[in-house]
């Protein structure tokens, strides 16, 4: 067969089937990832609009535009949306697209589980908003402290929907983590030893391992909350031997690592973008990897700093001050390495780099206020005030959203084959940077001046009016900048400049194939000889032969040194992930209304999962005929 | 209603009225200075790097010298700089840690001999206070307004009957939570006279925003006068209208929730009203204590503060006027 | 496994098409599941001891759970390790006949454990809604029962498949991984058993 026919057959093998059946049965990682990215971006817009509503209400003292109940729902939904439905999932979504491309693989491991993870995430997020639409939203804050979130003080179904949404999204997150870890460890192209693995992939690996340890805490916490509310368990009820702070310990044991789940993948974006636009590898690769690992590890030792205003023993609290200060070290080291890279590179200023530079100003400021919050005495003044709101937005937008926009400008050409507008990108960046600071810097002052969080209004004579108005104006500016982004995407999608394979002259494997990539990613699977294969081409052997083009065959390599191990046929398209997700959704939603749903709704789930697993006769025959035992 | 001048209260952490807040502000100033310096250095280094680095373009060939040990001398030098900066950063963090420990110890060492004892109970959405003075033996109840003698420590033990609240009087101290199933304790001392405002600082439900309290720090003599007045029960109602108002208080079931010391009203479901007329604000810091606002509150509290425990109590205007006259006597 | 390459292309067409143990992505996926479920158990056990540390008496106003059924299950589960190990080995040797027998025995053990579990629930001596002690005991038992149920079902499906087909080499890897997960179910039971039955007596 000649090369063109091979390519055609390869494409036909890996492509998603057409039509409606194909839509629900698609498992190609790029398809799933794009859906995931669009969905999380939709939630980002929703969360942003909620915030805009809040800022309109707070622009003036004593405003009666939005009442207490509606406002409490707004900030609950805003926080919940941003933290659970946007910030963590978007990072996983991007990883699902890029990791196989960066490691020379044709797919992720467990492609059907990857598809299931998307559907279950979508259904959980939609459920939450449908509940909101029917005024059944939680108004107990995104962190839902007990006893406020218990049935006695939050009657109705709002908190139940919120708690179950967590189950949906955390199941999704856990599955994606398993997919990513297995992909990274077992599916790297031959020759990509661990120290030839791009820093972004390291970031994804560290994040995914953290996910496995962190998410179970919130799943346990929210499950105990649901059972307290639904069947009268007493976990959080002091009158019956339970404890109110148990919720806070479990929630923050998850909640603190969660912000690092949001922060570490962008560290990978930054390493990638700085390297490309400084035209050199990041200074200190090994050090950078160790810093990522150290950050991931330390992140689990900080959670009590969210509880400094409780009656925990003073000595214990100081320990968590020390740990919270310590985690600044690996982040600082990475920042110094990036500055060293910029210092010694040849700089090429394009929008992705601008957003990364935005990170340097904003995240550093946010990190410094974080050090202030780490100190118990200081925290006792500024905890639960607008100072914290300022801090968290500086680190989340500076540390994640700015790099995220940079990443979109950087990889959009790869996803779509078209460049985003550079001029519009610069306008977006400038407006976003300025508006962000106008919106959030005054909040530091507001907190020190006595304004608590989660308030729907404030007194005229408090002296907070001007700063609140300024913050609201800044929020409007942010909204406009996001609108510019949407316009940019729309225009590029319609007719932006063609990107070609490698518009940024990058060094890593994702730039080696067409944009957008063909269904199988690599027409030929490469053999890797360098940390930057495109900057240091050459090396023999250069590519792999012998993988089937008729079946979704992938190469499995060894964990440390990516030496050849065996081949696997991955499952092709299947509607079962979608159907199983539907069944699981019925189970989860049903169990909000009745504990017996756990029993009867488990049956369709069992059926769907069994059908998902059950092998197909013809395919099995083909494999069996061609198999080679180890 | 009140015959003392109303001043605007302050509620901020940057103008301490007491030693605890002063300790924290001192730590804040030192930390701010250090962090500002670091910010300028880091952002400055970044800007300098951007300014001085040669500009390339996509055409600039990637510089891979750092990847090989043989050509990695420059990268090794850069790493040394990185390491030194990291050591400096760690030293800065150590300074912050030591500052924290020192401030924490200072906060814990407030001399509390003969301190005033205040039992504070948080409710959705108001503050209940019971004073107990070991020096004078005085004991009394009040709500939503604390008075503190300047220069004397107060030990505030805190409980809550419903959800988590948090007491925050930024001019005096950091905050501490009121936690169901637990008793927490915070130690305060006002060191100058002033009118300070505190606010609940842990989201506690619908009207979390409207759960504030006044803290009046006053010279010891002035405090003593206030405490003596508080200890005494309600003044007898003088005048026909006020006496009629007292009857209305009974008829309209106000006594079902509110206590007035020296009368048969002893319920503690709602705030103690014995000395209501001397308080600056009503509804937990939400409304000024004037006749108009008080009237509106009595007649339809839920429309002003939805979710509040007090029901709407409609009554003929005559009854309302009488009731108001009576309440005005509760000095 | 390095292959000879004589020119620019690395030929992989003679590599095996499935593999066991850490070589297999399935092993890593199963490990991921074990980490997650293990964390849930660990956190629930920590919750047990946390609540206990804040309680003047323990158990809270309830007698400890009866030892009988829980201990029987502990013994059963430890014993189930043997057919489990045997089946895993048979799978690694691609021995279909033995795998079929072994899977049937493993499923039988699973069902037996589930039946004994009913007895355990009946003699816990506390309800989930009595107090926090009862809640955390039921949570631990419930979590483990969920694992027992799902793993028994998984094993049953696999067992049926090994009899009916369609079969290929990869199914032996599934059998081996399933056995690995069963070890986790056993070990997590020993931890839960120790906490629920003996934590109430210590």
Q: Tell me whether residues C166 and A617 touch, CB distance under 8 A.
A: yes
Distance between CA A138 and CA A158 in Å, rounded? 4
**pLDDT at A53 (0 to 100):** 98
Which H helix or E strand runs over A269? helix A244-278
Based on the number of CB atoms within 10 Å of its own CB, is B145 exposed (0-12), middle (13-18) or buried (19 or more)? Answer: buried
Q: Which residues of A touch B75 (CB under 8 A)?
A: 283-284, 344
Helices A158-186/A68-80 angle, 10° precision: 10
Residue C32, domain member (yes or no): no
Contact between chains at C10 and A541 (C-beta distance less than 8 A): yes
Cβ partners under 8 Å of residue A564, min gap 6: A190, A555, A557, A558, C1, C2, C3, C10, C12, C15
Q: Which of residues 589-608 of A touch C (CB under 8 A)?
A: 606
Encode pLDDT of A36-49 as tens digits. Answer: 999 999 999 999 99
Residue C40 lies in a domain: no
pLDDT of residue B144: 97
Give CA–CA dist A381/A446, Å, rounded. Answer: 12
Domain presence at residue A320: yes
- SS3 track for A582-601: HHHHHHHHHHHHCCCHHHHC
- The mean of the pLDDT values for chain C is 95
C40 and A177 within 8 Å at the Cβ level: the answer is: no
Which of B260, B227, B253, B256 has the alpha carbon at shortest distance from B327? B260
Whether C55 maps to a domain, the answer reads: no
Question: Which of chain A's residues have a Cβ under 8 Å away from the Cβ of B166?
Answer: 309, 384
Total structural domains within chain C: 1
Residue ranges making up the domain that contains C91: 67-198
Across the interface, of A242, A545, A563, the residue whose CB is closest to C2 is A563
pLDDT for residue A6? 85
Is A404 a member of any domain?
A: no
What is the DSSP annotation of A239-267? GGT--HHHHHHHHHHHHHHHHHHHHHHHH
pLDDT level of residue C202 (50, 70, 90 thresholds): confident
Give the pLDDT confidence of A566-599 residue by residue, as tens digits: 999 999 899 999 999 999 999 999 999 999 999 9
What is the Cα–Cα distance from A265 to A262, expressed in whole angstroms?
A: 7
H helix intervals, A397-519: 402-416, 422-448, 465-495
* pLDDT band at residue B5 using 50, 70 and 90 as cut-offs: very low
Instruction: State both tokens at B145.
Output: 């307004």
H or E element at residue A565? strand A564-569
Find out whether A291 and A268 touch, Cβ atoms under 8 Å: no
- Helix (H) / strand (E) element for A567: namely strand A564-569
B6 pLDDT band (50/70/90 cuts)? low
Distance, C-alpha B219 to centroid of its chain: 21
Q: How far apart are CA A305 and CA A292, in angstroms?
A: 21
| Structure-token match 């409304």, residue found | B287
The predicted model gives C61-67 an average pLDDT of 94
What are the tens digits of pLDDT across the range A257-287? 999 999 999 999 999 999 999 999 999 999 9
* Residue B189 reports pLDDT greater than 50: yes
Predicted pLDDT at B66: 84
Q: Read off the pLDDT of residues B242-298 as tens digits, 9 standing for 90 and up.
A: 999 999 998 888 999 999 998 989 999 999 999 999 999 999 999 999 999 999 999
Strand blocks (E) in chain B = 116-123, 126-132, 139-143, 145-149, 153-160, 165-168, 176-178, 184-189, 194-200, 212-218, 281-282, 287-288
Tokens of B219: 């010279």
The residue of chain B nearest to residue A368, with distances taken between CA atoms, is: B35
Q: What domains are defined for chain B? A: 116-231 (2.60.40.420), 240-328 (2.60.40.420)
ipTM above 0.85, yes or no: yes
Q: Return residues 96-155 of A near C (CB < 8 Å).
A: 109-110, 113
- A616 in contact with C at a CB cutoff of 8 Å? yes
Chain A residue numbers touching C7 (CB-CB < 8 A): 540-541
CA atoms within 13 A on the CB side of B300: 4
Cβ(B86)–Cβ(A336) under 8 Å? yes
Local structure of residue B65 (DSSP, 8 states): G
Instruction: Tell me whether residue A239 is in a domain.
Output: yes
End-to-end Cα distance, chain B: 10
pLDDT band at A440 (very low <50, low <70, confident <90, very high): very high
Q: Is residue C38 part of a domain?
A: no
Contacts within 8 Å (CB) and 24+ apart, A602-610: A605/A580, A606/C153, A607/A583, A608/A576, A608/A579, A608/A580, A608/A582, A608/A583, A609/A576, A609/A580, A610/C157
CB-based contact A238 B182, cutoff 8 Å: yes
C-beta atoms of B184 and A376 within 8 A: no
pLDDT of residue A1: 58
**CA A434/CA B246 separation, integer angstroms:** 61
Contact B84/A at CB under 8 A = no
Query: Is there a domain that residue C170 lies in?
Result: yes
Quick check: B3 pLDDT over 50? no
Task: For residue A153, give the nearest of B163, B166, B306 by CB distance.
Answer: B163
Over 70: is that where the pLDDT of A29 sits? yes
CB–CB contact B82 A453 (8 Å): no
Asked if the structure places residue C78 within a domain, the reply is yes
Q: Is residue C111 part of a domain?
A: yes
The CATH number assigned to the domain holding A315 equals 1.20.210.10
Residues of A in contact with C148 (CB under 8 A): none
Residue C137 lies in a domain: yes
Helix (H, G, I), strand (E, B), or coil: what is residue A400? helix
For chain B, what percent of residues have pLDDT higher than 90?
88
Residue A320 lies in domain: 3-348+500-626
pLDDT of residue B67: 85
C-chain residue closest to A555, CA distance: C12
Asked if C167 lies within 8 A of A181 by C-beta distance, the reply is no
Nearest C-alpha of chain A: how many angstroms from B287?
10
Q: How confident is the model at residue C6 (pLDDT cuts 50, 70, 90)?
A: low
Chain A from 163 to 222: CB within 8 A of any C CB? 174, 177-178, 181-182, 185-187, 190, 212-213, 215-217, 219-220
Span A128-153, pLDDT tens digits:
999 999 999 999 999 999 999 999 99
Q: What is the pLDDT of residues A299-311, one digit of tens each?
A: 999 999 999 999 9
pLDDT at residue B2 in the model: 41
Using only C-alpha atoms, chain B has a radius of gyration, in whole angstroms, of 28
The nearest alpha carbon in chain C to A214 belongs to C39
CA angle centred on A85, ends A399 and A101, rounded to 5°: 65
Tell me what the mean pLDDT of segment A7-36 comes to: 95
List, as ranges, residues 507-546 from A with C-beta within 8 Å of C.
527, 540-546
* pLDDT > 70? residue B124: yes
Query: What are the chain B neighbours of A316 within 8 Å (beta carbons)?
Result: none
pLDDT tens digits for B149-178?
A: 999 999 999 999 999 999 999 999 999 999
Q: Which helix (H) or strand (E) holds A326?
A: helix A314-326
Q: If contacts are CB pairs under 8 Å, which of residues 424-483 in chain A contact chain C?
A: none
A499, A419 contact by CB (below 8 A): yes
Residue A460: inside a domain: no
> Total domain count for chain A?
1
Q: Residue B104 in contact with residue A377, Cβ under 8 Å? A: yes
For residue B4, name the pLDDT band (cuts at 50, 70, 90).
very low
Instruction: Report the Cα–Cα distance between both ends of chain C, in Å, rounded.
Output: 53
Phi, psi of B158 (to 5 degrees): -125, 140
Nearest to B27 among A378, A448, A449 (CB): A378
Q: CB B85 to CB A332 under 8 A? A: yes
Task: Determine whether the interchain pair B162/A504 forms a contact, defined as Cβ–Cβ distance below 8 Å.
Answer: no
Residue A309 sits at φ, ψ, to 5 deg, of -85, 5
* C29 contacts A178? CB cut-off 8 A: yes
Average pLDDT, chain A: 97
CB environment A114-147: b (16+ within 10 A), e (fewer): bbbbbbbbbbbbbbbbebbeeebbbbbbbbbbbb
Instruction: Give the CATH number, domain containing residue C164.
Output: 1.20.120.80
Q: How far is A253 from chain B, CA to nearest CA, in Å?
A: 19
The whole-number pLDDT of residue A177 equals: 98
């Amino acid at each position: 067969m000649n090369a063109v026919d091979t390519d055609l057959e390869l494409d036909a093998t890996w492509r998603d089937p057409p039509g409606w059946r194909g839509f629900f049965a698609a498992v190609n990682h790029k398809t799933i990832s794009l859906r995931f990215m669009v969905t999380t971006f939709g939630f980002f817009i929703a969360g942003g609009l909620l915030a805009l509503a809040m800022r309109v209400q707070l622009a003036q003292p004593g405003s009666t535009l939005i009442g207490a109940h509606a406002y409490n729902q707004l900030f609950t939904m805003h926080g919940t949306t941003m933290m659970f439905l946007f910030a963590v999932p978007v990072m996983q979504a991007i990883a699902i697209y890029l990791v196989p491309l960066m490691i020379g693989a044709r797919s992720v491991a467990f492609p059907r589980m990857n598809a299931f993870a998307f559907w279950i995430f979508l259904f959980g997020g939609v459920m939450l908003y449908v509940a909101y639409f029917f005024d059944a939203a939680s108004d107990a804050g995104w962190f839902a402290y007990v006893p406020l979130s218990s049935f006695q003080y939050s009657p109705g179904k709002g908190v139940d929907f919120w708690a179950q949404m967590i189950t949906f999204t955390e199941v999704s997150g856990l599955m994606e983590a398993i997919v990513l870890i297995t992909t990274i460890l077992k599916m790297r192209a031959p020759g990509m030893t661990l120290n030839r693995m791009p820093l972004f992939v390291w970031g994804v690996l560290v994040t995914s391992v953290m996910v496995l340890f962190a998410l179970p805490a919130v799943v346990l916490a929210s499950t105990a909350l649901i059972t307290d509310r639904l069947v009268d368990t007493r976990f959080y009820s002091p009158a019956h031997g339970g404890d109110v702070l148990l919720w806070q310990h479990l929630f923050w044991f998850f909640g603190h690592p969660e912000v690092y789940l949001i922060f570490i993948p962008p560290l990978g974006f930054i390493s990638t973008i700085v390297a490309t636009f400084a035209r050199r590898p990041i200074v200190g690769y090994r050090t950078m990897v160790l810093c990522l690992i150290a950050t991931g590890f330390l992140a689990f030792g900080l959670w009590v700093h969210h509880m400094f205003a409780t009656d925990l023993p003073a000595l214990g609290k100081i320990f968590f001050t020390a740990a919270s200060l310590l985690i600044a070290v690996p982040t600082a080291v990475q920042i110094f390495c990036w500055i060293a890279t910029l210092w010694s590179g040849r700089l090429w200023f394009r929008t992705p780099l601008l957003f990364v530079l935005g990170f340097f100003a904003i995240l550093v400021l946010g990190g410094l206020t974080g050090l202030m919050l780490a100190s118990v005495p200081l925290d006792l003044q500024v905890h639960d005030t607008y100072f914290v709101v300022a801090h968290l937005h500086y680190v989340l937008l500076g540390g994640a959203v700015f790099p995220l926009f940079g990443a979109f400008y950087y990889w959009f050409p790869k996803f779509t084959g078209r460049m985003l507008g550079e001029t519009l990108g610069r306008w977006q960046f400038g407006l976003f940077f300025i508006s962000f600071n106008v919106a959030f810097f005054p909040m530091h002052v507001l907190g020190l001046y006595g304004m608590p969080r989660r308030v729907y209004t404030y007194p005229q004579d408090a002296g907070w009016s001007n700063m609140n108005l300024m913050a609201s104006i800044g929020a409007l500016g942010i909204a406009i900048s996001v609108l510019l982004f949407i316009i940019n995407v729309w225009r590029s999608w319609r007719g932006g400049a063609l990107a070609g394979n490698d518009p940024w002259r990058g060094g890593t494997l994702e730039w080696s194939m067409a944009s957008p990539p063909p269904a199988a990613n690599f027409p030929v699977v490469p053999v890797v000889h360098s940390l930057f294969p495109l900057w240091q081409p050459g090396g023999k052997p250069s590519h792999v032969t012998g993988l089937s083009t008729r079946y979704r065959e992938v190469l499995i390599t060894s964990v440390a040194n990516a030496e050849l191990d065996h081949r696997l046929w991955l499952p092709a398209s299947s509607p079962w992930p979608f159907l199983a997700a539907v069944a699981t959704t019925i189970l989860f939603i049903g169990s909000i209304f009745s504990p017996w749903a756990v029993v009867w709704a488990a049956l369709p789930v069992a059926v769907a999962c069994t059908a998902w697993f059950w092998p197909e006769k013809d395919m099995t025959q083909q494999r069996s005929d061609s198999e080679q035992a180890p | 209603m009140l015959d003392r001048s109303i001043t605007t209260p302050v509620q901020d952490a940057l103008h301490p009225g007491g030693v605890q807040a002063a300790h924290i502000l001192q730590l804040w100033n030192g930390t701010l200075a250090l962090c500002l310096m670091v910010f300028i250095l880091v952002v400055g280094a970044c800007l300098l790097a951007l300014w001085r680095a040669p500009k390339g373009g996509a055409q600039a060939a990637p510089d891979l010298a750092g990847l090989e040990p043989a050509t990695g001398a420059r990268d090794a030098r850069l790493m040394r700089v990185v390491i030194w900066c990291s050591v400096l950063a760690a030293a800065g963090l150590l300074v912050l840690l030591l500052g924290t420990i020192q401030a924490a110890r200072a906060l814990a060492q407030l001399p509390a001999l003969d301190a005033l004892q205040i039992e504070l109970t948080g409710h959705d959405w108001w503050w209940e206070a019971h004073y107990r003075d070991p020096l004078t033996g005085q004991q009394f109840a009040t709500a939503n307004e604390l008075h503190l003698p300047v220069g004397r420590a107060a030990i505030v033990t805190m409980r809550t009957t419903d959800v988590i609240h948090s007491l925050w009087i930024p001019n005096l101290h950091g905050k501490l939570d009121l936690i169901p199933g637990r008793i927490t304790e915070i130690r305060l001392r006002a060191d100058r006279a002033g009118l300070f405002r505190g606010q609940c600082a842990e989201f506690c439900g619908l009207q979390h925003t409207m759960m504030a309290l006044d803290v009046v720090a006053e010279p010891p003599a002035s405090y003593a006068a206030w405490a003596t007045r508080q200890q005494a029960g309600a003044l007898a109602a003088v005048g026909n209208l006020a006496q009629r108002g007292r009857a209305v208080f009974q008829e309209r079931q106000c006594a079902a929730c509110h206590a007035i010391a020296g009368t048969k009203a002893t319920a503690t479901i709602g705030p103690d009203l014995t000395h209501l007329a001397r308080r600056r604000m009503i509804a937990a810091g939400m409304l000024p204590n004037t006749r108009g606002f008080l009237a509106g509150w009595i007649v339809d509290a839920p429309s002003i503060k939805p979710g509040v425990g007090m029901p709407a109590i409609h009554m003929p205007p005559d009854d309302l006027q009488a009731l108001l006259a009576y309440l005005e006597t509760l000095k | 496994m390095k292959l000879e390459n004589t020119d620019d292309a690395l030929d992989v067409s003679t590599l095996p098409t499935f593999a066991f143990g850490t070589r297999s992505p399935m092993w890593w996926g199963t490990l991921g599941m074990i980490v997650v479920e293990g964390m849930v158990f660990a956190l629930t056990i920590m919750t047990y001891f946390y609540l206990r540390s804040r309680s003047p008496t323990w158990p809270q106003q309830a007698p400890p759970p009866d030892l009988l059924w829980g201990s029987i299950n502990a013994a059963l589960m430890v014993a189930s390790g043997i057919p489990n190990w045997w089946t895993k080995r048979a799978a690694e040797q691609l021995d279909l006949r033995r795998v079929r027998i072994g899977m049937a025995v493993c499923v039988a053990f699973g069902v037996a454990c589930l039946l004994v579990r009913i007895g355990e629930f009946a003699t816990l001596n506390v309800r989930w809604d009595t107090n926090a002690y009862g809640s955390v005991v039921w949570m631990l038992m419930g979590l483990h029962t969920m694992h027992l149920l799902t793993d028994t079902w998984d094993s049953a499906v696999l067992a049926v498949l090994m009899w009916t087909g369609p079969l290929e080499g990869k199914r032996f890897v599934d059998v081996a991984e399933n056995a690995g997960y069963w070890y986790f179910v056993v070990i997590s039971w020993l931890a839960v058993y120790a906490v629920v039955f003996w934590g109430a007596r210590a």
